[in-house]
A and B are shown apart, each in its own frame.
Chain A
Amino acid sequence: MKYRILPLLLLLFAACSKHPSLPSSYTQMNDEPVIWPDYTKVTVPPNIVPLNFLVDDVDDVIAEFKIQGSSQNSGVDETKFRYGGKANKVQIDEDEWHEMLASAKGKSLSVTVYTKKDGKWSAYKPFPIYVAEEEIDPYISYRVLPPTFVGYDELSIRQRNLTNFEESIIYNNRQISKGLEGQCINCHSYQNYSTDNMMFHMRLQNPGTMIVNDGELIFVNLKNDEMISAAAYNSWHPSLPIIAFSTDHTMQSFHTREVSKVEVMESASDIIIYDIKKNSVQTVLNDSLEFELFPSWSPDGKWIYYCSAHYEYQGKYEDTEELLDKYKTLQYNLYRISFDAESMTFGEPELIYDAVAKNRSAVQPRVSQDGRYVLFAEGPWGLFHIWHTSAEIQVLDLQTGQLLDTKPINSDLPESYASFSSNDHWILFESRRDDGNYTRTYFAYFDKQGRLHKPFEVPAEDPEFFRLFLRSWSRPEFMKEPVHITPRQFYEKALTEPIKVAN
């Protein structure tokens, strides 16, 4: 009688163990498993957090991880590499995962998935996860917001540690918002991936721009009489206390049938630079026939890359009705303009990518640290490609003038807002490939030969998280370190009168 309890105890022990045993009998399948998120054949950095995943419509799942190319005497106990046994989710121990990735650097992991359905186990064909040599920047920051269109009730800028699952708030508009209108916060950016020099805008309630300059927080009203609007999209000069901005009049409209739903347009836009030390603004580009937008400094600080659409109003200037009729003709090319830091002067615009000739629109350029590649988002027209189903990420090789093959990272749904990591080997972008509606963050490996690899979604502790989370993660940015200013400090600063920029 007393021995009857033993199997039960063993079963209980097995259930509690983080390393479940493999089933003794199973049916071998010829396919790879369908897992969520799709981590099959992806390339990951050696410092990334565990890639937890789930399998749909099964009662139980076990995943066995093996390091490909490791010898039997590698000293790593293989039994450690089995996870699962908790319904349909595989959640990997963080310490063991990092240990595993450290051993697999430059090699790959082979993952065999076993699933149980109606009491019967199946084993799937193993799939690889490639582990790159190069690490990824440890932090990203992003806006978290409902996939909404007009209101700003609930909006926060958050940061996530990519080496673990820690997420924290940089600033939350609920600290200050009153009423339905709320406070819009946007356009967070950093100088050289460092948070000692960073900024973001506040709009509507307590408007102004929060700038952290060498660790010191200032609050500025970045609008003078000569500017179209308060400063918007921006980029820090890599070494000087200068930020390039576009200033613009934005309008947003809705489709009645298109599932892309929203069309964002600029009725006018210019580019300026703001000198933080002098608190002064200098106009860079303000051609009334050009909508110049999304300035981005090259890492050597000698160029501003940007995009521009040529548009001549038939009727009165900034006639929004006219733009609504012709929004599909608003297509942007990529340009750059040289900058002389000594004299603070700019050269002439230079076309670097003619998207219009291809009946496309190229926006949001970002230059690699070695200055060779330009990342950008390309869509059918306009500037907010996250709303365009056919939008995709492109990489232009400035040495050859050719586009790289970006098929491995693009999908049938919108991709947008891409940037390079500080070592150029990881590309961060936003995508709606999960369901077409909620924006998620993806990473792709960019190898030394300039090849792009299959991307992966930012891992979540609970693999179901992004399926259930009804908010978008938008506008992701890499960071080397977390933001040091606390949300409370930003809040208290926001209550002060912003400094007016000199005319």
Chain B
Amino acid sequence: MGANVGKILKYIYCLAFFALAWYFLYVRNADTMYFMQDRDWWNSTSLFWDDCMRFPGGLLSWVGAYLTQFFYYPALGSSMLIGLWILTFWLAKWSFRVPDEWSFLLFIPLAALLCSDIQLGYWVYIMKDIDYIFYHPMGLFAALLFSVPFWQYFPVSEKAQQWIALAWIPLVAALLYYPLGIYALLAAVIVAVRQLTVNFKLSTLSLIVILLTLWLVPLLETAGTTLMRPDQPWTYGFHKFELDDLRDYSLEIPFYLVLITSVLFPFIKKLNTKKLILSQSVMAIVAVLMVYCLSTRDFSDYNFHAEMRMQRGVEECRWNDVLREAAMVKGPVTREMVMLRDIALINRGELCSKRYVYNNESVPPVTVSDSIHIRIADQAADLIYLNYGETVFAIRRAIERCMHYGYSYYTMRMLTECALVNGEWDNARRYLRLLGCTTFQKKWAEKMKRFVGNEKLLAESEPFRMPLKLYNEGSELVGTDDKYVELTILKKWMYSITSDPEAQEVALGCAMMMRDQKCFWSQVQQYYNINPGKYFPIHVQEAMLFGVYELKMQGINLSFVQFDQRVLDRYNAFFNRLKQYSSQGMNEKQIGSALRPEFGDTYMWDYCVLREVQTN
């Protein structure tokens, strides 16, 4: 009975791990995984292959980048990654002859790899490794594969086998250091450790060989390279979470776990207890710990995930989805969410009539252990700039990102779209040519080709209509954004005088957001000039009443304005209620909260309660 249970245990473990990994990868993090593949870059050109192969671990990079693409369909990517992990489990189990009842221990490094994918949070925006998701799983698989004791199958004496094993230590490292990087060294270490468990007499020799191998192989193989610092060859491929002077070791723990536990695999077979209850109790504790660690390390901040969904929504012109996402947020939002939502409103012509219906109360992005401070400039600045027609600034941010964090499908699409809006056709062709050499972006590239050289078609298409309009209507200035994306856009547009009704509404909206009375009233005048006889949008009506009666703006004649009776009523009710709460001795915060249910969707509430102009 016990033996039969033991035999099916490994299948149960596999199923359990599959379910666990599926839950964390796909159910909870599909948006993050999609995002990470979108920041991946692989293409079939020989130039890309050569670029990868120049570095230790080049083959892993190439394969990792290739496989990461499959998260374009998160379910497919998740299945492939979990499949690789299950394969790794079977390989390790077979190679190290791990007893069935203890085999769940083999999932520890695999769970660590799973953890490494779901714990990143805002680091996903600033990681340099395009191949991150599959690089390490492939590396571990390769290290285990090349540490398989093939010499045991040679028809030679046991002593000869020992010597072959000893020779394999430097050989596997030397032969595979460039294709596999640090994972070739891991394979060598595993072989050496395995030898310790087989023949302790040779342990000193094994130790000397492995130490010499670890020291000399990276040193000799990178001699003469100009692609890395001299301190890097030994750890090339080990993912460090470092940015300038900052290093977050907590995020590196999974990788330490991978290295340490895989080196200990040869010892598992020594756990030869036959008491199933004992082994399964240990396995249960390991499983509980695993679930606990994954749950606590999973980066579940709502805004983080919502931002990714909104970015994708904006790029795909799914304005309703973006607004639905904006409406669903319970707490304060990030400025990027505000900007993405405003883009959706602009495209629906609702910036000045619906903007204050949504939550504008803002918080900075919540980062993992405060290790990094993320700004819009690091996130989707290029996407936002493009949608405001600021293509030069978008290109600047896209290129800066390429340089800091590598090329990606996302930045390539951004650069293509900017080139199309700018009319830089040859440049667009270059990017489309490259995107045409990818697996899943080919279709997009093919679709975009028809826009090259066809401004009329651009002006009529959904993704380009508004960016092109704002690009054409926007004024030409010279300056820089100093990483303040929102402020740069608002400041430019509140001063822009245009006679295009849609672009003018953007300018009017920006003046309202900046709370600049001079700009606001000149934009009001312009709106009136180009929309004679038309009602002002609701928020503009609110802002006009507020400007004249509350901010006491002098010299404004409102007699020409047709006010909506409901706006007038709510305006009066708002200030009556404000006075009432104030006379009751409530402080500002309390008044804000009390007014919110009834007036949270008005310009007045925004102005009075969110006291500072919040921008990033």
Q: Do A and B bind each other?
A: yes
Chain A interface residues toward B at CB < 8 A? 146-151, 153-154, 156, 169, 171-172, 174-181, 252-259, 261, 263, 324, 327, 434-438, 462, 464-465, 467-470, 486-488, 491
Query: Which of chain A's residues have a CB closer than 8 A to the CB of B391?
Result: 257
Q: Sample 22 A-B pairs with CB under 8 A, ordered by A number.
A: A148-B399, A149-B399, A153-B404, A154-B403, A172-B226, A174-B226, A178-B244, A179-B242, A254-B481, A256-B390, A256-B392, A256-B478, A257-B471, A259-B422, A259-B424, A436-B426, A437-B419, A467-B430, A467-B433, A468-B45, A470-B402, A491-B230
A150-B400, A151-B403 as given contacts; A259 in contact with B226, CB under 8 Å: no
B126 nearest in chain A by CB position: A180
Q: How far is the CB of A153 from chain B (nearest CB, A)?
A: 5
Query: Which of chain A's residues have a CB closer than 8 A to the CB of B480?
Result: 252-254
B390 and A174: CB pair below 8 A? no
Is B597 an interface residue when CB atoms closer than 8 A count as contact? Answer: no
A179-B243, A181-B244, A467-B433 as given contacts; A146 in contact with B402, CB under 8 Å: yes
Q: How far is the CB of B465 from chain A (nearest CB, A)?
A: 18
A261 and B395: CB pair below 8 A? yes
B423 nearest in chain A by CB position: A259
Query: Which of chain B's residues have a CB closer than 8 A to the CB of A149?
Result: 396, 399-400
A149–B397 Cα gap in the complex (Å)? Answer: 9
A169 and B226: CB pair below 8 A? yes
Is B393 an interface residue when CB atoms closer than 8 A count as contact? Answer: yes
B229 and A175: CB pair below 8 A? yes
Q: Which residue in B390, B392, B400 is a CB contact (below 8 Å) of A151?
A: B400
A488–B429 Cα gap in the complex (Å)? Answer: 39
Query: Which of chain A's residues have a CB closer than 8 A to the CB of B422?
Result: 259
Query: Which of chain B's residues have a CB closer than 8 A to the CB of A486?
Result: 224
B46 nearest in chain A by CB position: A462
A256 and B492: CB pair below 8 A? yes
Query: Which of chain A's residues have a CB closer than 8 A to the CB of B477?
Result: 255-256
A488 and B224: CB pair below 8 A? yes
Q: Which of B47, B393, B403, B407 has the most CB of A within 10 A?
A: B403
Query: Which of chain A's residues have a CB closer than 8 A to the CB of B244?
Result: 178-181
Q: How far is the CB of A55 from chain B (nearest CB, A)?
A: 15
A324–B427 Cα gap in the complex (Å)? Answer: 28
Q: Which 7 A-B pairs have the closest CB atoms?
A: A172-B226, A179-B244, A435-B426, A257-B476, A487-B226, A169-B226, A435-B427
A146 nearest in chain B by CB position: B403
A259–B396 Cα gap in the complex (Å)? Answer: 12
A469–B48 Cα gap in the complex (Å)? Answer: 9
A256 and B475: CB pair below 8 A? yes
B226 and A258: CB pair below 8 A? no
A254 and B392: CB pair below 8 A? yes
B226 and A257: CB pair below 8 A? no
Q: How far is the CB of B519 from chain A (nearest CB, A)?
A: 17
Query: Which of chain B's residues have a CB closer than 8 A to the CB of A324?
Result: 478-479
Q: Which residue in A151, A171, A468, A487 is a CB contact (below 8 Å) of B47?
A: A468
Q: Which of A253, A465, A468 has the most CB of B within 10 A?
A: A468
Chain B interface residues toward A at CB < 8 A? 45-47, 224, 226-230, 242-245, 390-393, 395-396, 399-400, 402-404, 407, 419, 422-424, 426-427, 429-430, 433-434, 471, 474-481, 492
Q: Which residue in B393, B427, B475 is a CB contact (below 8 Å) of A437?
A: B427
A249–B427 Cα gap in the complex (Å)? Answer: 32
A149–B481 Cα gap in the complex (Å)? Answer: 13
A436 and B427: CB pair below 8 A? yes
B47 and A469: CB pair below 8 A? yes
A255 and B392: CB pair below 8 A? yes
Q: How far is the CB of A214 from chain B (nearest CB, A)?
A: 25
B242 nearest in chain A by CB position: A179
B430 and A256: CB pair below 8 A? no
B476 and A256: CB pair below 8 A? yes
Interface of A is mostly: loop
A150-B400, A256-B475, A259-B423 as given contacts; A174 in contact with B229, CB under 8 Å: yes
A153-B404, A257-B471, A259-B424 as given contacts; A179 in contact with B226, CB under 8 Å: no
B478 nearest in chain A by CB position: A253
B48 nearest in chain A by CB position: A468
A424–B389 Cα gap in the complex (Å)? Answer: 47
A179–B128 Cα gap in the complex (Å)? Answer: 11
A179–B244 Cα gap in the complex (Å)? Answer: 4
A465–B430 Cα gap in the complex (Å)? Answer: 11
A148 and B400: CB pair below 8 A? yes
Q: How far is the CB of B179 from chain A (nearest CB, A)?
A: 20
Q: How far is the CB of B29 from chain A (nearest CB, A)?
A: 27
A176–B434 Cα gap in the complex (Å)? Answer: 31
A259-B422, A435-B426 as given contacts; A468 in contact with B226, CB under 8 Å: no
Q: Which residue in A179, A263, A470 is a CB contact (below 8 Å) of B478?
A: A263
Query: Which of chain A's residues have a CB closer than 8 A to the CB of B390?
Result: 256
A171–B226 Cα gap in the complex (Å)? Answer: 7
Query: Which of chain A's residues have a CB closer than 8 A to the CB of B430?
Result: 435, 437-438, 467
A435 and B492: CB pair below 8 A? no
A180 and B424: CB pair below 8 A? no
A468–B431 Cα gap in the complex (Å)? Answer: 8
Q: How far is the CB of A187 from chain B (nearest CB, A)?
A: 19
A153–B128 Cα gap in the complex (Å)? Answer: 11
Q: Which residue in A151, A171, A179, A255 is a CB contact (below 8 Å) of B476?
A: A255
A223–B332 Cα gap in the complex (Å)? Answer: 51
A28–B446 Cα gap in the complex (Å)? Answer: 32
B476 nearest in chain A by CB position: A257
Query: Which of chain A's residues have a CB closer than 8 A to the CB of B402?
Result: 146, 148, 470
A253-B480, A255-B476, A261-B396 as given contacts; A436 in contact with B243, CB under 8 Å: no
A169–B429 Cα gap in the complex (Å)? Answer: 30
A149–B477 Cα gap in the complex (Å)? Answer: 17
Query: Which of chain B's residues have a CB closer than 8 A to the CB of A254?
Result: 392-393, 396, 478-481
Query: Which of chain B's residues have a CB closer than 8 A to the CB of A462?
Result: 46-47
Query: Which of chain B's residues have a CB closer than 8 A to the CB of A256?
Result: 390, 392-393, 474-479, 492
A252–B480 Cα gap in the complex (Å)? Answer: 8
Q: How far is the CB of B455 from chain A (nearest CB, A)?
A: 14
Query: Which of chain A's residues have a CB closer than 8 A to the CB of B434?
Result: 468, 470
Q: How far is the CB of B55 from chain A (nearest CB, A)?
A: 10
B407 and A470: CB pair below 8 A? yes
A178–B245 Cα gap in the complex (Å)? Answer: 9
B47 and A258: CB pair below 8 A? no
Q: Which residue in B45, B228, B403, B478 is a CB contact (below 8 Å) of A327?
A: B478
Query: Which of chain A's residues have a CB closer than 8 A to the CB of B47?
Result: 462, 465, 468-469
Q: How far is the CB of A76 from chain B (nearest CB, A)?
A: 32
Q: Which residue in A153, A172, A181 is a CB contact (below 8 Å) of B227?
A: A172
Q: Which residue in B46, B229, B407 is a CB contact (below 8 Å) of A176?
A: B229
A258 and B476: CB pair below 8 A? yes
A148 and B403: CB pair below 8 A? yes
Query: Which of chain A's residues have a CB closer than 8 A to the CB of B399?
Result: 146-149
A257 and B478: CB pair below 8 A? no
